[in-house]
Amino acid sequence: MKKVLIGIGILIACFGIGFLYLASKPSVASNYTEVVETGGAVEKKYLGQGNYDVSYLEINALQNFKKYELYYPTNIETETRKFPVVIFSNGTGVRASKYASVLKHLASWDFIVIGTEEEYSWNGFSSEMSLRLAIKLNDNKTVEGLKSNPFFSKVDLDKIGLSGHSQGGVGVFNAVTEQKHGHMIKTIYAASPANLELSSNLEWDYDPSLISVPTFLVSGTGGGYEDLVVSGKQLTQIYETLPATITKVMARRKEAGHGDMLRLPNGYMVAWFMWQLQGAPEAETAFQGNSPEIVQNKLYQDQRIMN
């Protein structure tokens, strides 16, 4: 038992050191969409910029995460239609401002995207508060702290997705299963979520078996720190713990490290939300049909799909 506890302590220490490393530098370059390699036409399309110019707005938060960071199509003020929402759940020490290019990229595909400066997102609280903000912005013409509210009656509260990396990957599960408005979330994307055993040791418990919405899991095969967080076997465990009654997809990006998973799979991250929240037929072909593109993509391995 003593050896087991020492092993767990070493693992947690390595986990913490890795987080400090990620927190010490910008996480995703502003031009990442121009340099990431793709292995399929759908992945390439959605790694590129969308058709919409993007605006940015900050709203103060009376929480430890300080502020909400919103990226959204600039034309929202002149549109009468509603826009789907994706909320981001951060990895430890990797605040939304450190991977702003990812949020901006997704917003260019016609999404309202909400991030925060949260550093401890495992419990889903910051995602819950971001969802409450989306409700508030949609329902109120006048919002304290804003000269005008461009989101009034423009938020599609029936089309809300969550995206999380590492600890944030744990957070997206708990936002669905443990938070008040979890029933409003329609789909989740988890990149390199901390494995079940490690999360339990860190007191970040989560239960994939309680998930009832389509779920996309990705991780890397780069070994080292990525394997400490979630090995291939451990990602498979999460996938298999998810109910067989939901649509679920799993894939591992070859030779990708833990931090790489914030950017390398993002062509498919965008495609997932385009399919799930906008019903885009081309995006769907990445995951569905007789020959889903992600299964044929040579940059990935260990692909599994259940419809």
Task: Dump pLDDT digits (tens) for 175-222.
Answer: 999 999 999 999 999 999 999 999 999 999 999 999 999 999 999 999
- The arrangement of secondary structure in 36-306, i.e. its CATH architecture, is 3-Layer(aba) Sandwich (3.40)
pLDDT the model gives residue 3: 37
Read off the pLDDT band of 10 (50, 70, 90).
very low
Between β-strands 54-60 and 67-73, what pairing exists: parallel, antiparallel or unpaired? antiparallel
Q: Evaluate whether 268 touches 253 at the Cβ level (below 8 Å).
A: no
pLDDT of residue 266: 99
By three-state DSSP, how is residue 87 classified? Answer: strand
Helix ranges, 24-71 (H): 32-35, 41-47
Cβ-based neighbours of 1, under 8 Å, separated by 6 or more: none
Type and span of the H or E element at 128: helix 125-139
Closest alpha carbon to 164 in 129, 143, 132, 192: 192
pLDDT at residue number 27: 85
What's the angle, vertex CA 192, arms to CA 186 and CA 195, rounded to 5?
95
Select from 113, 117, 122, 66 the least CA-distant residue to 93.
117
Structural domain boundaries of the chain? 36-306
Q: How many helices and strands, by DSSP H and E, does the chain display? A: 12, 9
Average pLDDT, the chain: 93
User: How far apart are the C-alpha atoms of 56 and 46, rounded to whole Å?
Assistant: 21
Answer yes or no: is pLDDT of 18 > 70.
Answer: no
Q: What is the pLDDT of residue 1?
A: 43
Name the nearest CA neighbour of 230 among 269, 271, 261, 272.
261
What does the pLDDT look like over 93-129, one tens digit per residue?
899 999 999 999 999 999 999 999 999 999 999 999 9
pLDDT at res. 62: 87
Strand pairing partners for 83?
A: 155
β partners of residue 304: 250
Q: pLDDT exceeding 70 applies to what percent of the chain? A: 92
pLDDT digits (tens, 9 = 90+) for 229-242: 999 999 999 999 99
User: What percent of the chain is predicted at pLDDT more than 90?
Assistant: 87
What local confidence, expressed as pLDDT, does residue 25 receive? 58
| 2 pLDDT higher than 50 | no
- Average pLDDT, stretch 53-68? 94
